[in-house]
Structure 1
Amino acid sequence: MAQDGEPQPTDRDALISRFSRPEQTFPTLNETEIARLRQFGEIRSYKSGDLLFETGKRGPGMFVVLSGHVSITQRDGLGHVTPVIDQGPGQFLAELGQLSGRPALVDGHADGDVETLLIPPDRLRALLVAEAELGERIMRALILRRVSLIQGGIGGPVLIGPPHSAGVVRLQGFLTRNGQPHHLLDPEGEHDAAEIIARYSPKPEDWPLVVTAGGTVLRNPSETELGRAIGMIGGPRNDRIYDVAIVGCGPAGLATAVYAASEGLSVAVLDIRAFGGQAGASARIENYLGFPTGISGQALAGRAFTQAQKFGADVMIPMTVKSLDCSLRGGTFSLALDGGDLLRSRSVVVASGARYRRPEIENLDKFEGRGVWYWASPVEARLCAGEEVALVGAGNSAGQAAVFLSGHARKVLMVIRGGGLGASMSRYLIERIEATPNIELLFNTEVVALEGDEASLLRRIRWRSRLSPEEDSADIRNLFLFVGADPATNWLDGCGVTLDRGGFVVTGAQSEQNQGRLVAPLETSVPGVYAVGDVRSGSVKRVGGAIGEGAQVVASLHGYLGDAAKPAL
């Protein structure tokens, strides 16, 4: 208990203490600062008990409390309500989702009569750009609030299922990589899950059951089904024509989105899985300019994703682009999306990267998502804590993953087809691997077969030396494959974009169709269509190179769009 003369803790103090950096997460604005915000919003009044925003429904923007108090609570689909914080005069109510009007992750009730200044998403973005110092404080708070919600398991869908099941791992990875709060209930020991399980009687293939904030229950949904159910994507407006459509949300696509949107272009970004691409799954990137201690791919991509939203880019994830129609008149392109939607744009940037390559291993398809992984995130690391794991690959991504996994697994068996690492891996990673005692290297070796149990979970791998016919094996339940990737360009079939023999997009003077005309270095054989990053033929397969190309292509976009707007002579 507090001694006489000491300030007594309030309920709000106790709630705030749950958050990291509370003074930055919940700052209080003074009258001068609020006056500067008034031009961006309008006054809204609420009676006691009124809802300002509701979990699972699209939020109207950021509220600045002028008088009264607002109680913030978290409500999940199982009916649980948890206090989060109480906000009073000078406080603002929002988190990252309100940059783009996403569904709210919490409820906000007026506690008595309340007067607020409501700043809608488009005006909030304008505020962040126009008011640099104040905008920085607000943006930092929005980011920290989302991080706190994620770390505390507050908001978002409830996943019910065995932690090691393929569906649980798949959807946890999807939500984690997209920065979406969620929490998992194990049916073996969680009483809260019993009623749902009894009602829906799930079969093994139904795991996980996913309960949305509104109480809807999904059986092992696809990423797209889950994304639509929780409001991550709403689909394009068929009547809108964007200045540029960017297909792919990896480093190249994100860089294009940030620079294009910040320079006033209307931007749509589409990705089938998550922002960050393959780079987003990197445990630690240590050779990217400006980060001497390294940064995770998730953190780097997350910052860029937030920047793109700040400048007004429409990011649609998960969204599959089926095809590109380059034949339309009027200087527009049409992208056919899953679900039958169409998105129209005056230009297109191909940043679709590459799909993970699948080596010739017996029974590989049987164990994908059931012990075979193509990336190493904290979700997968949790599955192999204290166990022996195997990793196939010899590039930088493989090296980064091996070092990361070595901090969780008892032993990392690194299987390398060639006779060394020097030709394909950065020297700093080789030295790090050589200095890590629980990483064992097997050179001139290939994994040839996988074995499992009656539940189709990986239990054993077999490998063979390329220098002798003998096979060896080990009881290993998690195999990580980092053997490169093939370009994701199938959706370009039929639109006239030239590809090289490997399926990568040819740009600039390399294309025979471009010879004889002046073209930008990143322009494809189809005017108005550009390619950046790993999907481009001849590109440097590095994060820094992809980001550089994303920035570079924006100048070409301005030139093309400016010329397209000029009347023909």
Structure 2
Amino acid sequence: MAKPVIMTVDDDPEVLQAIARDLRQEYGDRYRVVRAESGATALDALEKLKLRNETVALFLADQRMPQMSGVEFLEGALSIYPGAKRALLTAYADTDAAIRAINTTRVDYYLMKPWNPPEERLYPVLNDLLDDWSASFSPPFEGIRVIGNRWSPHSHSVKDFLARNQVPYEWMDIELSQEAQKLVEYAECDHLQLPLVLFPDGTSTLQPTNTQIAEKIGLQTQAGKPFYDLVIVGGGPAGLAAAVYGASEGLRTVMLEREAPGGQAGTSSRIENYLGFPVGLSGGDLARRAVTQARRFGVEIITPQEATGIRVEKPYRFIQLADGSEISCHALILALGVSWRRLDIPGVERLTGAGVYYGAAQTEALSCQGEDVYIIGGANSAGQAAMYFSRYAAKVTMLVRGDSLTKSMSQYLIEQIASTPNIEVKVHTSVIEAKGETSLEAITLQNVLTQETQTVPANSLFIFIGAQPATTWLDGIVERDERGFILTGPDLKREERRPKGWNLERDPYLLETNVPGVFAVGDVRHNSVKRVASGVGEGSICVQFVHQYLSKVL
């Protein structure tokens, strides 16, 4: 933590220099002494200190200053740093004013000029004030602060990006926090331009993109080399496993992730059926452990960065990126994962990020304290989310089109849900409309058997209705099935014939696509098992096929 500040204010340069010198001599090892030549200058400096999240322990101001007296300055400073101690420096003629200030404006003490010797007439008083301040001082949060509106999609995007990349931050709701309102005022920021992101170094950004945030907090957003042995596109469990095994076996490896390492699994509140973790772990914990392991072996992790195209020039594969750059490699693994399927009903698209969310959106859990939460879906991801939100919400209602959870959810989750009193499962139910102007206010439910409808108040709706691959950028190069999932190995054969354009004497390896040296693993692969352990397994064994491929082309 940065040293707390002692601020001294005096319009007389010689007096100001002398008091600052004495303060630094006694307190410079524990406090940072800041001086100002007027009350107005000091107030401006305090606003900047506040934006940098610095702490002020003590104000020491001269009473007799032009334009703004010491008492007037301390009154202004009180609104910015209400917890700081306040003391006046006065001449004998000003003692009455100083006593009135103590009685009316919460000035803690007044000191007479001159204060020599300071060991007798200055330090004992200030020591008592600083001791009192230290006894009640709680260190502020030192990381990133995000000021925004709960119902702002851009605010949600910033919070989600920071949380999924394991970056601690403090959320400050402009509608609920007076501190947030003051910070926005000090930053001279229009409320309509939020979110405002305040960084620990004192800089701030309005409505930043994920890339701007990533660059500011030190994430690697550009590849360090133009060429790699192995490029992995996608940072979910399959991609992370491939990265760990590839780098640990000597391959120069880079992994590209468009959002945050962990993929869809990284948003899971609890994974309880992953081998080796008997009490379960969150998707965020799994991602953090895997990222640490990958970096230990020298994997470059580029995020946020999106692949937009592939071209092949024997024996190289080139990956084109969204920022216009390009990297090349000998072998490429596509671990793209899947995205939540969008719910196409009136109101949802407009209210996404403002009460309607895809996936668990754990960043919104605390905001749901004491509210009713609705979840659409009946598979494991929906069940895990229901259990997580039940810790915060007054009630969680799961909306399921089918007649039960047994067809798509693990038995252990069904039992947990049944034993949780504030979770209700509504079967044969779908949502047909989301209502609200600037945020979600209500949803319309329909019984799929009777077609009966009802509209219920709702502020938070979380959607888990299946997944779809984002593979359109592979058109014309990598073969896919009718739903967009990538075909590999035996699935490429039609009537026992190898894929069109395949010019090698061997058949494609188990996880190899129709392009030699380009592989696919995890949820994006046709007929894959949609489980974390399966993705990790495919990512791990795929590296063996990469070695076999490289041994024949190099």
TM-score using structure 2 length: 0.72
Q: Counterparts of 1:153 and 1:246 in 2: how far apart (Å)?
A: 40
Task: Report 1:86-165 matches (<5 A).
Answer: 155-165=142-152
Picking from 186, 199, 218, the partner of 1:231 is 218
How much has 1:313 moved relative to structure 2? 0.4
What secondary structure sits across from 1:334 in the alignment? strand
Greater C-alpha radius of gyration = 2
Matched, 1:319 2:305: yes
* Alpha carbons 2:221, 2:305 under 8 Å: kept: no
Matched, 1:78 2:56: no
Q: Counterparts of 1:153 and 1:546 in 2: how far apart (Å)?
A: 41
How much has 1:158 moved relative to structure 2? 2.8
Picking from 143, 166, 171, the partner of 2:153 is 166
What secondary structure sits across from 2:441 in the alignment? strand
Q: Counterparts of 1:270 and 1:81 in 2: how far apart (Å)?
A: 36
Picking from 323, 326, 340, the partner of 1:356 is 340
* Alpha carbons 2:154, 2:195 under 8 Å: kept: yes
Distance 1:156 1:233, change over 3 A: farther
What secondary structure sits across from 1:464 in the alignment? strand
* Alpha carbons 2:151, 2:355 under 8 Å: kept: no
1:498 aligns to what? 479
How much has 1:287 moved relative to structure 2? 0.7
Once the two structures are superposed, what CA deviation does each residue of 1:398-439 show, in whole Å capped at 9, x if it has no partner? 111111111111111111011111111111111111111111
Distance 1:259 1:387, change over 3 A: same
What secondary structure sits across from 1:339 in the alignment? coil
Structure 2 residue identity aligned to 1:547: V
Q: Counterparts of 2:49 and 2:382 in 1: how far apart (Å)?
A: 38
What secondary structure sits across from 1:278 in the alignment? helix
Matched, 1:376 2:363: no
Picking from 514, 518, 523, the partner of 1:529 is 518
Picking from 191, 194, 205, the partner of 2:182 is 194
Once the two structures are superposed, what CA deviation does each residue of 1:249-278 show, in whole Å capped at 9, x if it has no partner? 000000001111111111111111111111
2:416 aligns to what? 432
How much has 1:558 moved relative to structure 2? 1.0
What secondary structure sits across from 2:301 in the alignment? strand
Q: Counterparts of 2:277 and 2:334 in 1: how far apart (Å)?
A: 28
Q: Counterparts of 2:508 and 2:49 in 1: how far apart (Å)?
A: 54
Task: Report 1:11-410 matches (<5 A).
Answer: 78-81=51-54, 155-187=142-174, 189-191=177-179, 194=182, 196-204=184-192, 206-237=193-224, 240-326=226-312, 328-329=313-314, 331-410=315-394
Structure 2 residue identity aligned to 1:167: H
Structure 1 residue identity aligned to 2:370: G
* Alpha carbons 1:283, 1:377 under 8 Å: kept: no
What secondary structure sits across from 2:431 in the alignment? strand
What secondary structure sits across from 1:414 in the alignment? strand
* Alpha carbons 1:77, 1:158 under 8 Å: kept: no
What secondary structure sits across from 2:263 in the alignment? coil
Q: Counterparts of 1:542 and 1:76 in 2: how far apart (Å)?
A: 49
Indicate the larger mover: 507-516 or 292-301.
Answer: 507-516
1:116 aligns to what? none
Structure 2 residue identity aligned to 1:240: P
User: What are the ranges of 5 or more consecutive residues in structure 1 without an aligned counterpart?
Assistant: 1-10, 12-48, 50-74, 84-151
How much has 1:501 moved relative to structure 2? 1.3
Structure 1 residue identity aligned to 2:530: K
Q: Counterparts of 1:439 and 1:214 in 2: how far apart (Å)?
A: 44
Structure 2 residue identity aligned to 1:387: E
* Alpha carbons 2:340, 2:467 under 8 Å: kept: yes
Structure 2 residue identity aligned to 1:212: F
1:548 aligns to what? 537
Note the aligned Cα RMSD (angstroms): 2.6
How much has 1:163 moved relative to structure 2? 4.4
Distance 1:311 1:563, change over 3 A: same
Indicate the larger mover: 529-538 or 192-201.
Answer: 192-201
Distance 1:361 1:163, change over 3 A: closer
* Alpha carbons 2:164, 2:266 under 8 Å: kept: yes
* Alpha carbons 1:156, 1:213 under 8 Å: kept: yes
Distance 1:400 1:560, change over 3 A: same
Q: Counterparts of 2:487 and 2:359 in 1: how far apart (Å)?
A: 28
Matched, 1:466 2:453: no
Percent identity (aligned): 41
* Alpha carbons 1:161, 1:185 under 8 Å: kept: yes
How much has 1:191 moved relative to structure 2? 4.1
TM-score using structure 1 length: 0.70
How much has 1:301 moved relative to structure 2? 1.3
What secondary structure sits across from 1:560 in the alignment? helix
Distance 1:359 1:479, change over 3 A: same
What secondary structure sits across from 1:243 in the alignment? strand
Once the two structures are superposed, what CA deviation does each residue of 1:301-321 show, in whole Å capped at 9, x if it has no partner? 110011011111000111111
How many aligned positions are there?
Answer: 421
* Alpha carbons 1:414, 1:442 under 8 Å: kept: yes
Distance 1:153 1:259, change over 3 A: farther
Q: Counterparts of 1:163 and 1:464 in 2: how far apart (Å)?
A: 28
Once the two structures are superposed, what CA deviation does each residue of 1:35-64 show, in whole Å capped at 9, x if it has no partner? xxxxxxxxxxxxxx9xxxxxxxxxxxxxxx
How much has 1:491 moved relative to structure 2? 2.0
Once the two structures are superposed, what CA deviation does each residue of 1:514-560 show, in whole Å capped at 9, x if it has no partner? 48733210000100000000000011000000000010101011111
Picking from 476, 480, 485, the partner of 2:462 is 480
User: What are the ranges of 5 or more consecutive residues in structure 2 without an aligned counterpart?
Assistant: 2-27, 29-47, 57-138
Q: Counterparts of 2:406 and 2:199 in 1: how far apart (Å)?
A: 49
